[in-house]
């Protein structure tokens, strides 16, 4: 099974910009992996921020954006707010039957 890698932790200053990345042990991440990004706060169910690389839901704050960057999926937060402090998980699809694999998650601190 493929391994999906994320930074274990990142820190960003309020108002600052940070990019979280998501790599794959099988090679470059492409749009064909349909990258997803989820946000999870303590005691809550995950919430989907980004799907299919860069698509947002109606509840996704405009300061979040998804892209492909240097062979990885990326989630960029521009203008961090204290409420953005959370765990972020990326999620990739593999093969025609579309088994999915989560990354280990990035703990984002806004400080």
What's the min distance (Å) between Cβ of 103 and another protein?
Answer: 8
Burial of 10 (0-12, 13-18, 19+ CB in 10 A): middle
- The kind and range of the H/E element at 14 are none
**Using CB under 8 A, which residues numbered 28 to 57 contact another protein?**
36, 38, 40, 45-48, 51-52, 55, 57
Number of residues that bind another protein (CB under 8 A): 24
**Using CB under 8 A, which residues numbered 88 to 107 contact another protein?**
89, 91, 97-105
- Name which of 59 and 62 has its Cβ closer to another protein: 59
In this structure, what is the dihedral angle of CA atoms 23, 21, 95, 49, given to the nearest 10 degrees?
160
Backbone CA torsion sign across 64, 66, 69, 74: positive
* Contact in structure between 30 and 42 (CB atoms under 8 Å): no
64 forms part of the interface with another protein (CB under 8 A)? no
Residues of this chain that bind another protein (CB under 8 A): 1, 36, 38, 40, 45-48, 51-52, 55, 57, 87, 89, 91, 97-105
């Amino acid at each position: 099974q493929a391994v999906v890698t994320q930074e274990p932790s990142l820190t960003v200053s309020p108002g600052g910009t940070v990019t979280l990345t998501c790599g794959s042990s099988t090679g470059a991440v492409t749009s064909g992996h349909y990258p997803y990004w989820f946000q999870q706060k303590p005691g809550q169910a995950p919430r989907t921020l980004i799907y299919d690389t860069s698509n947002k839901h109606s509840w996704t704050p405009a300061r979040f954006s998804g892209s492909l960057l240097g062979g990885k999926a990326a989630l960029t937060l521009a203008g961090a707010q204290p409420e953005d402090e959370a765990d972020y998980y990326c999620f990739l699809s593999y093969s025609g039957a579309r088994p999915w694999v989560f990354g280990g998650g990035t703990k984002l601190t806004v400080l």
